[in-house]
Amino acid sequence: MRFDRLDLNLLVALDALLSERSVSLAADRICLSQSATSSALGRLREYFADDLLVQKGRQMVLTARAEGLVYPVRAVLEQIRTTIAVPPPFDPAISDRTIRIMASDYMTEVLLAGAMNDLQRQAPGMRFEIQSLTEVLLESLERGAIDLLVTIDYAISADHPSQILFEDDYVVVGWNGNSAMAEPMTKDRYFEMGHVTARFGRARVSAFEDWFVRRQKRQRRIEIVTHSFLSMAGLVIGSNRIATMHRRLATRMAEYLPLTLHEVPMDIPPIREAIQWHISSNNDPAIRWVVERIVAGAQTPAGTQGSVVCFEAARISREELAAQFLSDATPKARN
């Protein structure tokens, strides 16, 4: 490889010649023959238009030009060694890395918000950019537009490393003032009522619960389609509509909003949320550290059994469900 007409491979030979001030000793140091090292010296002399090493008595000495090259050449090679050959240690306390994460507002609310606080305490100089879901989740990861993808495990790629974060299921959410919410949520009542659901991107890609329920023999009456999970609760308040929401999110929102929660009157399989990073980042200590902190914050809370169903009992193969889910959804944008 050449840079400004200089064969960069000659830098190693130059450093050895300047240090050893001997062709034979330099040859031994860089594991080349004496003739090859002499040839390298000849090419270096031609490039620098200087003898570099000259015979003085029984020894070779450096010319003034060569003396001026000793420390710059050594510094260049040391910088290459420390930045390429030896990865720099990662210290979160002083890191100023920016990490880009793609995640839904649901995952931002129930996991990332708390994780960000933990990350800030340990890495005050790091910056985080949370991007909303698009129709091209995996393409964004593949082309390096994001560092981490947080999504349902059905939508991740087998070509890149990933880790499961937690499992969640669904509940029916309605306004406290909705008289239907004072009664048990039967399957008939569920399908008779108006629904709010979320779909994403220009293609209006369905979230998992919407996709799954639309595969049933009975169809819901979707009255409102919104662009986010967080907006669903506000769209049922003051109305007779209901929404099918992630249990973790619904439970959190019911703490400060006038909402009533019921179990879903059908077997909707639970979902598993996962975090994924590009295979080229597998040895990136900053990425791995952030992943470890996010995973540490993804502890499953007590009392989430609810409508979680047994796949064997429901005769559902997770692999089959994932294949169907992905084949029905192009492009692949998910919660």
The answer to whether residues 281 and 149 touch, using CB atoms and an 8 Å cutoff, is no
Is the pLDDT at 10 greater than 60? The verdict is yes
- Taking residues 57-83, what's their average pLDDT? 82
Q: What percent of the chain has pLDDT over 70?
A: 84
The answer to whether residues 259 and 178 touch, using CB atoms and an 8 Å cutoff, is no
Domain with CATH 1.10.10.10 in the chain: 2-85
Is the pLDDT at 82 greater than 80? The verdict is no
pLDDT recorded at residue 258: 97
Burial of residue 143 (number of CB atoms within 10 Å: 0-12, 13-18, 19+): exposed
Q: Give the single-character DSSP code of 280.
A: G
Q: Is 204 left (phi over 0), alpha (psi -120 to 50) or beta?
A: left
CA 264 to chain centroid: 32
Q: Is 96 helix (H, G, I), strand (E, B) or coil?
A: coil
- Per DSSP bridges, beta strands 221-226 and 205-206 are unpaired
Helices (H), the chain: 10-20, 23-29, 34-48, 64-80, 105-107, 113-122, 137-142, 187-192, 208-214, 230-236, 247-254, 285-296, 318-328
Q: Is 244 helix (H, G, I), strand (E, B) or coil?
A: strand
Please report which confidence band the pLDDT of residue 187 belongs to, taking 50, 70 and 90 as the band edges. Answer: very high
CATH architecture of 170-263: 3-Layer(aba) Sandwich (3.40)
Q: What percent of the chain has pLDDT over 90?
A: 43
Q: Superfamily assignment of 98-167+271-328 in CATH?
A: Periplasmic binding protein-like II (3.40.190.10)
Please report which confidence band the pLDDT of residue 332 belongs to, taking 50, 70 and 90 as the band edges. Answer: very low
Q: Which tens digit of pLDDT belongs to each residue from 102-130?
A: 999 999 999 999 999 999 999 999 999 99
Average pLDDT of the chain?
A: 83
Q: Which tens digit of pLDDT belongs to each residue from 319-328?
A: 666 666 665 5
Distance CA 153, CA 272 (A): 6
Lowest mean pLDDT among 141-145, 212-216, 319-323: 319-323
- Whether pTM > 0.75 for this model: the answer is no
Distance CA 58, CA 148 (A): 63
Terminal alpha carbon distance of the chain: 47
Domain with CATH 3.40.190.10 in the chain: 98-167+271-328, 170-263
What is the sign of the dihedral through the CA atoms of 277, 280, 283 and 289? negative
The topology under which CATH files domain 2-85 is Arc Repressor Mutant, subunit A (1.10.10)
- The residues near 172 (Cβ < 8 Å, ≥ 6 apart) are 185, 190, 242, 243, 244, 261, 262, 263, 264, 265
Tokens of 113: 């918000």
Distance CA 81, CA 78 (A): 5
What is the sign of the dihedral through the CA atoms of 214, 228, 266 and 274? positive
